[in-house]
Amino acid sequence: MIENRMFFIVALSILSLGNAQEENANLILSYPEESEISFFQYPEGTNAYAIYNSQAETTNMYPEQLLESIISATNQDWVDYNTLGGAEKASKKKQSHFDKVKTMDKANNYFELAHKLTLEVGGVSTAIIKFFTHFQETETLSGVSVMQFVDGRWQKTSQTSLSTLSIVVMRMKPEVLKGIVLLNSDDPNIKALAERVSRDGVLDLSLLEDEFRSWYSPEKDETKIELYKDPRTW
Amino acid sequence: MVKLLKKRHMKIMIIVALLFLSHSLYSQLDYEKFNGNKGKMIFSKTYGYTNLYDYRVNASEEDSIITRKLSSSIPEGLLTDLYANELSSNTKDSVSFKIIMDSRLLVDMNANRVCLIKYSTGSNNTVSEKNIFKAVKTGGNWRELNISNSEIRLLEQILLGTSVEVLFQFYNRWNDPEYPDINKMKLKVKDEEGILNIKKLAEVVTNNIAVLQKYDNK
Read off the amino acid at residue A74.
Answer: T
A-B contacts at Cβ under 8 angstroms: 196
CB contact at 8 A, A194 and A180: yes
Please tell me which of A9-23, A158-172, B14-28, B128-142 the model is most confident about, judged by mean pLDDT. B128-142
CB contact at 8 A, A39 and B37: yes
Using a CB-CB distance cutoff of 8 angstroms, which residues of chain B are in contact with residue A35? 40-43
Entry pTM: 0.70
The H or E element that residue A170 is part of is helix A163-171
Neighbours of B215 (CB within 10 A): 16
Q: Which value does ipTM take for this structure?
A: 0.79
Within 8 A by CB and 6+ apart from B2, the residues are none
Q: What is the pLDDT of residues A121-136, one digit of tens each?
A: 878 899 999 999 999 8
Say whether residue A4 is in contact with chain B using an 8 A CB cutoff.
no
Q: How far is A216 from chain B (nearest CA, A)?
A: 19
Residue of B23, B34, B99 to mutate, interface with A, max A Cβ within 10 Å: B34
Read off the amino acid at residue B113.
Answer: R
Q: What is the residue-wise DSSP string for B179-212?
A: -HHHHHHHHHHB-TT--EEHHHHHHHHHHTHHHH
> Which chain A residue has the Cα nearest residue B65?
A13
Q: What is the pLDDT of residues B75-109, one digit of tens each?
A: 999 999 999 999 999 998 889 999 999 999 999 98
Cis peptide, bond prior to residue A218, ω within 30 of zero: yes
